[in-house]
Amino acid sequence: MIKYILIFYVLLFNSIFAVVHIDSFNKQSDLGLNQQLSFNLDVLDGNNDYLSFKPDYRLNYVFSSDQYTQLFLITTMHYAKKKDITIQDKSFYHLRFIRYVSDTFRYDLFLQEQSNIFKMLKHRFLLGGSIGRNGINSTIFSHSINMGLMYELEELSTLETSQLIRLTHFQQFYIPITNSLNLYTIFYYQPDIVSFNDYRILLENRFVFKLTNHLKYSLIFDFDYDSVVEDSLSSYDMAIKQFISFQF
């Protein structure tokens, strides 16, 4: 029952507020190279005894002062260990090229590589492209939408492999709440083009607090739903995260 409530929440929320993740640098990038390094470190002792470490690196290169051509690189790793047992180990790499053909329309090319031992995902490779449109862009908020196709190659820890083509649809939204507080959100919907019963939904809400010109604190809510998973796994993941980020 809970998964249907969460799916309804995701769809309802994003019908009102569509949203930003990969595009979040657009609101803060200067000409040339822009980089951001974030860290999350948790050490618990007592009833819970584990170490969790997650670095997050983001790079954006703006080729022109009007930001018509951009290159994004996002890499993250998450390693958690309890005594001699690795309880979570995952990585994520995303490279995206964005080219605006006008003030409104653009096209994207991207590739992605990820793993997540916690979800029995040994390897997932994505390669695709999309076309996008900026619906609203004002000082109050901005919204854009993308639609495209991507090739997916996946291998599980059970050595089971699959290849398919997915539709990739995402909406992005940005709200400058105050001078020091911004909201970024992204909503992804990725169905198999052959079987729409096989789909993924991703929602990320990121509140970013500007502490100084280079230092930021982020509070993040993630919801990730996969309609087709191994029987031993849950179909959804929810997480509340926090980061300290240094932009340079």
* pLDDT 10s digits, 72-117: 888 988 888 777 777 677 888 999 998 888 888 999 999 999 998 8
- Tokens representing 103 are 């003030």
Alpha helices in the chain (DSSP H): 2-16
Domains and CATH numbers, the chain: 2-247 (2.40.160.40)
Average pLDDT for residues 13-28, to the nearest whole number? 39
Q: For the chain, what's the residue count?
A: 248
Q: What is the pLDDT of residue 21?
A: 40
The CA distance from 86 to 88, in Å, is 6
Q: What is the pLDDT of residue 110?
A: 94
* pLDDT 10s digits, 137-161: 777 888 889 999 999 999 988 888 9
* pLDDT 10s digits, 184-197: 898 999 999 998 89
pLDDT > 60? residue 233: yes
Highest average pLDDT, of 147-151, 219-223, 243-247, comes from 147-151
Average pLDDT for residues 40-67, to the nearest whole number? 73
Q: What is the longest distance spanned by two Cα atoms in the chain?
A: 57
Contacts 24+ apart (CB under 8 A), 126-135: 126/150, 126/151, 126/152, 127/151, 128/166, 128/168, 130/168, 131/105, 131/106, 131/107, 132/105, 132/106, 132/107, 132/108, 133/104, 133/105, 133/106, 134/103, 134/104, 134/105, 134/106, 135/18
pLDDT > 50? residue 20: no
Q: What is the CB-side half-sphere exposure of residue 131 using CA atoms within 13 A?
A: 4
- pTM listed for this prediction: 0.76
* pLDDT 10s digits, 115-132: 988 788 889 999 999 999
